[in-house]
Amino acid sequence: MSELIVKPNRTPDPDGNVLRITPESAGWTYVGFEVYQLEAGERLAVPTGDREACLVLLAGRADVVTAKQAWTGIGARMSVFEKIPPYAVYVPNGDRFEVAALTGLRLAVCWAPGKGTHPARLIGPEQIGVEVRGQGSTERLIHNILPESEAADGLLVVEVFTPGGHWSSYPPHKHDRDHLPEESLLEETYYYEVQPEQGFAVQRVYTDDRSLDKTLAVKNGEAVLVPRGYHPVSAPPGYDAYYLNVMAGPVRTWKFWNDPDHAWLMPKPSGK
């Protein structure tokens, strides 16, 4: 895989899609990711087929309907940088979702293979775990949209706000070996928004043997593929970075392995 950055289309396609990652385009097995940009009054209808989906309302308000459920007027923010938890909707495989934009709407759709285990449900802002992780220049805000403690077949979804001058996904860690309980194999995408929009974030993706060793300048609206390796992120001073992570693999658990060169940066357990 030579290109790790996926750039958005300049204009939406007829369905409103501006960015699409499939397992086939990424060269992997589990994770898919899309972004749609709809104007007020526009609609999107998608069957889930053999995949489960998590819809994340990045910005704007909408009505969402599945085969057996309907939610009207959902949407908590008009920009991700309001930093309040979003509304999300989980939809299983063998279902469908229809979205009607009530305002301008930016919608992320996260995909993974489904097993039909769980029904469609609304994930409201009050159900999303909020935490501050790190300290000093590694402090960042986390919204756990679909963590492993919440029902899904394969998807793990989280969003992270990294202030300008700070680092996240740090110290560097990876999850590219199916070697539990030490490490789980999880493919991952990072979808970025940057404020102000002319800025950028920096992401490194590298392996122990450096067979993969990329340093990427990522712009607003772009996505990064992490097929393997460590993947720390930095937000330059003056530019706040937002990213939405989607992970999936053969086992739905997040067990990461720290880069041994930098593991000394991890906080020490209290009392030891």
The tens-digit pLDDT sequence of the chain (272 residues) is 459 999 999 999 999 999 999 999 999 999 999 999 999 999 999 999 999 999 999 999 999 999 999 999 999 999 999 999 999 999 999 999 999 999 999 999 999 999 999 999 999 999 999 999 999 999 999 999 999 999 999 999 999 999 999 999 999 999 999 999 999 999 999 999 999 999 999 999 999 999 999 999 999 999 999 999 999 999 999 999 999 999 999 999 999 999 999 988 887 654 33
Instruction: Look at residue 241 in the predicted model and tell me its pLDDT.
Output: 98
Sign of CA dihedral 5, 10, 12, 14: negative
Instruction: Look at residue 270 in the predicted model and tell me its pLDDT.
Output: 42
Instruction: Look at residue 263 in the predicted model and tell me its pLDDT.
Output: 86
CATH H-level superfamily of 5-258:
Jelly Rolls (2.60.120.10)
- The answer to whether the beta carbons of residues 18 and 223 sit under 8 Å apart is no
Rounded Cα distance, 44 and 268, in Å: 48
Q: Delimit the domains of the chain by residue range.
A: 5-258
109 CB contacts (<8 Å, ≥6 apart)? 33, 34, 35, 36, 46, 53, 54, 55, 56
